[in-house]
Amino acid sequence: AVALSAGDYKYTDLLYSYIPNIYKILESNIKQFNNQKAICQLLGDKNEESIEFNIASNGGASSSIFSINENEKLPFSMNEKIFLPMRRLDDIQSIEQIQNFKHWVIDVQGAELNVIRGAEKLINECQSLQIEVKNISDYIGGSSWINVKDFLFSKGFKVSTVNRRISSLKQFYLFLFNN
């Protein structure tokens, strides 16, 4: 999912969820909050009519556009494929629409760099960014710590904090701030 937040205490958020049944749950969960909006859209680095999307066996939590690396011993498998349209964030949101959303959270199961590249025209509007990323991706062709960090450094971001989430999985939350 991708969450864009105004960073205020009014909870002004724009939430992108890409799996239709999970989107329906999200939409139901935020119904009570007037300043939150959910959008069912797969975000990436290109606009495509149909992308093969892998649904994970853990309730969809580890679902991805990428296949899993079979060499990794993971507690889930990909048990279904669906096809979804993919859009670039900077083709569906304008700078004017996004400028109030100063904090972004990106957790997209290996597609972090794809989503960031698809928001390249908007990324300077973001003041802080939280990304879940691993040293080496569990997904074939997925983003890694160094790819994401290097790309964001080239856009003026600086690392603020790195929190290791689960040391055995070499998984990190990367917190960055824009100059």
Look at 162 and 39; give whichever has higher pLDDT.
Answer: 39
Does the structure show a pLDDT above 70 at 117? yes
Report residue 173's pLDDT band, with 50, 70 and 90 as the boundaries: low
User: Beta 157-166 vs 171-178: how paired, if at all?
Assistant: antiparallel
Q: Which amino acid is at 112?
A: E
Q: Which of 35, 52, 41 is nearest to 16 (CA)?
A: 41
Task: Say what the pLDDT of residue 174 is.
Answer: 59
Contact 56, 77 (CB under 8 A): yes
Q: Which tens digit of pLDDT belongs to each residue from 77-107? A: 999 999 999 999 999 999 998 888 888 889 8
* Structure-token match 């964001």, residue found: 152
